[in-house]
Chain A
Amino acid sequence: MKIGVVVFPGSNCDHDALHAATEVLHQPAEFIWHQSQDLTGFDAVILPGGFSYGDYLRTGAIARFSPVMNAIARFARSGGLVLGICNGFQILCEAGLLPGALMRNKGLRFICRDVHVRVETAATPFTSAGRAGQVLRLPIAHAEGNYFCDAATLANLKTQNQIIFRYCAPDGSNEPSANPNGSLDSIAGICNRERNILGMMPHPERAVEAALGSTDGLVVFRSLVQSSARQPAAAVS
């Protein structure tokens, strides 16, 4: 599959995502400059972590206006796979491609450490290589990871099975102290109604090699590769 990694001014985890795609998964991957509107040939696009536009105004608030976001909206409508990691998740919410918003961490500080998340469903192209209930150890590194949406949206997310990852204790159980940032319902990642756009706060690309301390992030990437094998590249104009 061909993976694109979008580079906004201020994206920091773009090289990490590319490395995961090319060196670990051995898939062809390229950077996509934020002004490009051409996503032809890509099967999946990653919006990486970082501080696009320095988090000026609000994190992700300016990046959502980058020209590439129009192309991404079209790409997604045609069934292309879009993975937003950390800042990428924030941008997808600002762009309205995912519901809700990421607010400041409850503790009001940046947090960088390993957390555990539970895979809530394997019925997405991003978790199909895993199983519901599986616990992943992944790093987080953010100051605005506190997911929020209104009651109606939350109810909808639940009925439509769109909550994909929740923070949990190492044994997979619900545990308030396992939620590092005050996220509503311990939500760590969600997908859209069509299940082809995923946003997640933890960094799977930082957990793809033993040298980095965990390979649990491979679940997400392997699912992506498997899923694109099943569907041909989306035709995008």
Chain B
Amino acid sequence: MPSMLATKIKVTPEIVAEHGLTPEEYARIEKILGRKPNFTELGIFSVMWSEHCSYKSSRVHLRRLPTQAPQVLQGPGENAGVVDVGDGLAAVFKMESHNHPSYVEPFQGAATGVGGILRDVFTMGARPIAVLDSLRFGAITTANGEAPEAIARNRRLVDGVVRGIAFYGNCFGVPTVGGEVEFEPGYAGNPLVNVLALGIAPKDRLFFARARGEGNPVIYVGAKTGRDGIHGASLLASAEFTEESQRKRPNVQVGDPFLEKLLLEACLEAMATGAIVGIQDMGAAGLTSSSCEMASRGGVGIEIELDRVPQRETGMTAYEIMLSESQERMLLVAERGREAEVLRVFRKWGLDAIEIGRVASDGMLRVLQHGQIAAEIPADALAEQAPVYQRPIAAPKASSTREIFFRLSPAGADLTANFRKLLAAPSIASKRWIFEQYDHMVRTNTTVVPGAADAAVVRLKGTRRALALATDGKGRWCSLDPRAGAMHAVAEAARNVSAVGARPSAATNCLNFGNPEKPEVMWQFSEAVDGMAEACRALSIPITGGNVSFYNDTLGKSIDPTPIVGVLGVLENADAALTMAFRNEGDAIVLLDGRGALPSAVSQRSGSEEREALREFSSSEYARSIAGKLAGVPPAIDLAAESRLIDALVALAADGILSSAHDVSDGGIAVTLAECGFASQGLAGEIAWRSDEADELALFAETGARAIVSLPQASLARLLTLAAEYRVSATQMGRVTRGQFQLSHNGATVVRDDSAALGEIWSGAIEQAILGEQASKQA
């Protein structure tokens, strides 16, 4: 029996604390081992029991999410979620965050975020076919009075993150087809970079991260192991930022998308040999997590020899090798006797591939180095027996933010100037400058490109189907009411998917929150989970997996709670996908509302109804852009109405009578209508309607369960019939015109401008903010 390798560093209470472990957690470790852990073992426990890897603060809440449905082949618990999408195919998808590394080193942080989620997908045997990214930054314009240094830093972050995503996705060869970006002051010290990847595999040829078969070889493939990213999981992702954060730079992983592309091709080819039993990518906590998780899930043990691990640097200790987060590596288990078939494939692609150990039957993770035992831990203890915390929850005291502050403009006032200001707001403005840096067409599956519709659509070659994807999440609403905000995130993502005609099928999520040790943050988390669960149940959308990112705090201040949802939809007929651009001059423009027939337009609203409407309006993007602040409450959400609208849109798309569809969200009806024009070739809208609301509420309120569609006048009758079947109201608001964009409410023209001029403001705002006026004229 090999003897224990003596580690240079002795474990002391200070060392334990530095590793992010509490004294109680340490005591638990001693109990599991029946002895004190050595330094290497301490390191291994610290990463596996970190918040990022163990979900110790979130597990008790995540159990409340609905995860089952007939189409779900694999729910939470594996590398990604898997959904049956017909024709023998499975969609493998998940969203993950890489927030903290992106703050420290935006380019590499974002790049490796993309790399990590891609591996989670192709480790299951699915070739990645689409990526979406959900980004949150602080202000990039001076519009709301932020300090110049803060704005400059936010611009650098945006630039670095976008270049990083482009660098990785483009070189790897997966199209980045959608996502969203929002700018809110709360993210200034904590940008959010959430990346969703989707892959396709034959549903009977999926691969899982489970080791089995005593004596089966454990094989390491991919990049060499270096010292990068050590403690990325435990120190970066599981702790707040302070003034010393600059020193966390060595913890940021460095990505090589070319290597990952080779790894992808080699893995898919090796999987096709049939010799692979189980496979897991080396992500957070690298070799440690992949080995103990595969062992634990398979109910077996794994023994590995570190001397056989390909290393990029000399003199690496067992601690360093086990904790390294060097990218582009996988760990796989093969059938004994068939190793050569597997190794040959990796050699062809020029990748390191070497047997570093074997599957054991004793359930232990045994790590050997220089002929001695460097670590010996029950695999289950690492993967499954991390503490599970019921962190204290406390709702914040009622705050003044629920009060109304917004002062409406007088009836009939010209709102054109305000509208221009709104269109230039980075959260509303076109994201063209961003998505044109992403190859969104590679693999020739993208049938609806970024900006063309509310969701991205990628076709499934060899079938008539396509898949639609959208991500959404509103931190500004969740900060006011986490439960309602989370419900809106689900509803909006689902609505976006249905707006292209796809039926929502399943969802993934990324829950971005502050420090879970703060009771108000834990309250936000619990509320958001409940909201998400309720909305998912109401809309029949199971959660198939996702990610939790805690500790998004800087200098003691938490981000707005930001649960982000990514919904996957199935379009039975890829050719029937709807986009938002107006198509024909003279088409009718119709507002669909899932709440059904509204009370008579001219009835007087009660005083309290008016106040509530204004309280809701105070949380809108219009309020943020015009009044410079946010307060009030999110719009009331009606899940039954959302559900009806989703069904109606899916049916209308299949029926083929619509020219365009675009759901109403940020900036309300006015922005929605304008965007339908901007996406077209010079078309615009002339809209006139009456309601009992104030002008600004009618134009800019962000009430849910609504969509704007356009269609030939001759098809209007059919639309009204279909809408009635789904109990969705359909109100004609105007017609598609050319040139002038005009909105009239209650008889007064409140917005009138040249549509092309408005389009230029909307289209150039972000480029101008990032590059400055000069540069954007040259580019």
Measured CB to CB, the residues of A under 8 A from B are 9-10, 12-13, 15-16, 19-20, 23, 49-51, 53-56, 106-107, 109-113, 139, 141, 143, 203, 205-206, 209, 211-213
CB-CB under 8 A from B449, the residues of chain A are 213
Other than the known A10-B171, A106-B779, what 17 A-B pairs have Cβ atoms closer than 8 Å? A12-B443, A13-B442, A15-B443, A19-B461, A20-B444, A23-B461, A50-B173, A51-B171, A54-B171, A54-B256, A56-B258, A110-B437, A111-B436, A112-B439, A211-B459, A211-B574, A213-B449
CB-CB under 8 A from B172, the residues of chain A are 12
CA separation between A55 and B436, bound complex, in Å?
20
Check A112/B258 contact, CB under 8 A, given A19-B444, A212-B444: no
Q: Is the CB of A51 within 8 A of B258?
A: yes
CA separation between A113 and B574, bound complex, in Å?
22
CA separation between A12 and B261, bound complex, in Å?
9
Q: Check B349 for interface membership: any CB of A closer than 8 A.
A: yes
Q: Which of the residues B259, B349, B441, B574 comes within 8 Å of A206, measured between beta carbons?
A: B441
Q: Is the CB of A112 within 8 A of B575?
A: no
Using CB atoms, name the residue of chain A closest to B351: A9
User: Please, could you name 24 A-B residue pairs with CB atoms under 8 Å apart, sorted by A?
Assistant: A10-B171, A16-B443, A49-B442, A51-B258, A54-B171, A54-B256, A54-B257, A56-B258, A107-B779, A109-B163, A109-B166, A109-B437, A110-B438, A111-B437, A112-B436, A112-B438, A112-B439, A141-B439, A143-B170, A206-B444, A209-B444, A211-B459, A212-B441, A213-B449
A7 to chain B, nearest CB (A): 9
Q: Is the CB of B444 within 8 A of A112?
A: no
Q: Is the CB of A212 within 8 A of B171?
A: no
A47 to chain B, nearest CB (A): 15
Q: Is the CB of A113 within 8 A of B173?
A: no
Q: Is the CB of A110 within 8 A of B444?
A: no
CA separation between A51 and B575, bound complex, in Å?
31
Q: Check B733 for interface membership: any CB of A closer than 8 A.
A: no
CB-CB under 8 A from A50, the residues of chain B are 173
CA separation between A10 and B257, bound complex, in Å?
9
Q: Check B465 for interface membership: any CB of A closer than 8 A.
A: no
CA separation between A12 and B258, bound complex, in Å?
10
Q: Which of the residues A51, A109, A141, A212 comes within 8 Å of B447, measured between beta carbons?
A: A212
CB-CB under 8 A from A211, the residues of chain B are 447, 459, 574-575
B296 to chain A, nearest CB (A): 35
Q: Check B440 for interface membership: any CB of A closer than 8 A.
A: yes
CB-CB under 8 A from B261, the residues of chain A are 9-10, 12, 51, 54
CA separation between A9 and B228, bound complex, in Å?
25
Q: Which of the residues B441, B461, B575, B778 comes within 8 Å of A141, measured between beta carbons?
A: B441
Interface residue count on the B side (C-beta < 8 Å): 33
CB-CB under 8 A from A111, the residues of chain B are 436-437
CB-CB under 8 A from A212, the residues of chain B are 441, 444, 446-447
CA separation between A22 and B6, bound complex, in Å?
62
Q: Quick one: which of B173, B259, B574 has the most chain A CB within 10 A?
A: B173
Using CB atoms, name the residue of chain A closest to B462: A23
3 smallest A-B Cβ distances: which pairs?
A54-B258, A12-B173, A107-B779
Q: Which of the residues A9, A54, A109, A209 comes within 8 Å of B349, measured between beta carbons?
A: A9
Q: Check B350 for interface membership: any CB of A closer than 8 A.
A: yes
Q: Is the CB of A51 within 8 A of B173?
A: yes
CB-CB under 8 A from B65, the residues of chain A are none
B200 to chain A, nearest CB (A): 13
Q: Is the CB of A141 within 8 A of B442?
A: yes
Q: Contact flags (1/0) for B327-353 with A, using CB distance below 8 Å?
A: 000000000000000000000011000
Q: Is the CB of A112 within 8 A of B437?
A: yes
Q: Which of the residues B258, B349, B778 comes within 8 Å of A53, measured between beta carbons?
A: B258
CB-CB under 8 A from A51, the residues of chain B are 170-171, 173, 257-258, 261
CA separation between A13 and B170, bound complex, in Å?
11
Q: Quick one: which of A20, A50, A53 has the most chain B CB within 10 A?
A: A50
CB-CB under 8 A from B435, the residues of chain A are 112
Q: Contact flags (1/0) for B257-296 with A, using CB distance below 8 Å?
A: 1110110000000000000000000000000000000000
CA separation between A23 and B444, bound complex, in Å?
12
Q: Which of the residues A16, A106, A107, A143 comes within 8 Å of B444, measured between beta carbons?
A: A16
CA separation between A16 and B442, bound complex, in Å?
8
CA separation between A105 and B575, bound complex, in Å?
35
CB-CB under 8 A from B166, the residues of chain A are 109-110
Interface residues of B in 419-461 (CB under 8 A from A): 435-444, 446-447, 449, 459, 461
Q: Is the CB of B443 within 8 A of A9?
A: no
Q: Which of the residues A110, A205, A213 comes within 8 Å of B170, measured between beta carbons?
A: A110
Q: Quick one: which of A10, A107, A110, A112 has the most chain B CB within 10 A?
A: A112
Using CB atoms, name the residue of chain A closest to B466: A211
CB-CB under 8 A from B259, the residues of chain A are 54
A229 to chain B, nearest CB (A): 25
B261 to chain A, nearest CB (A): 6
CA separation between A45 and B258, bound complex, in Å?
24
Q: Contact flags (1/0) for B571-591 with A, using CB distance below 8 Å?
A: 000110000000000000000
Q: Contact flags (1/0) for B479-498 with A, using CB distance below 8 Å?
A: 00000000000000000000
CA separation between A8 and B35, bound complex, in Å?
53
CA separation between A54 and B261, bound complex, in Å?
9
Using CB atoms, name the residue of chain B closest to A139: B441
Using CB atoms, name the residue of chain B closest to A107: B779
CB-CB under 8 A from A112, the residues of chain B are 435-441
CB-CB under 8 A from A23, the residues of chain B are 461
B446 to chain A, nearest CB (A): 8
Q: Which of the residues A10, A106, A110, A205 comes within 8 Å of B439, measured between beta carbons?
A: A110
Interface residues of B in 504-533 (CB under 8 A from A): none
CB-CB under 8 A from B574, the residues of chain A are 211
CA separation between A23 and B463, bound complex, in Å?
13
CA separation between A54 and B257, bound complex, in Å?
7
CA separation between A205 and B443, bound complex, in Å?
10
CA separation between A20 and B461, bound complex, in Å?
12
CB-CB under 8 A from A55, the residues of chain B are 171, 258
Check A10/B441 contact, CB under 8 A, given A51-B171, A211-B459: no
B447 to chain A, nearest CB (A): 5
CA separation between A80 and B438, bound complex, in Å?
34
CA separation between A110 and B168, bound complex, in Å?
12
B534 to chain A, nearest CB (A): 37
CB-CB under 8 A from B258, the residues of chain A are 9-10, 51, 53-56
Using CB atoms, name the residue of chain B closest to A20: B444
B255 to chain A, nearest CB (A): 11
CB-CB under 8 A from B257, the residues of chain A are 51, 54
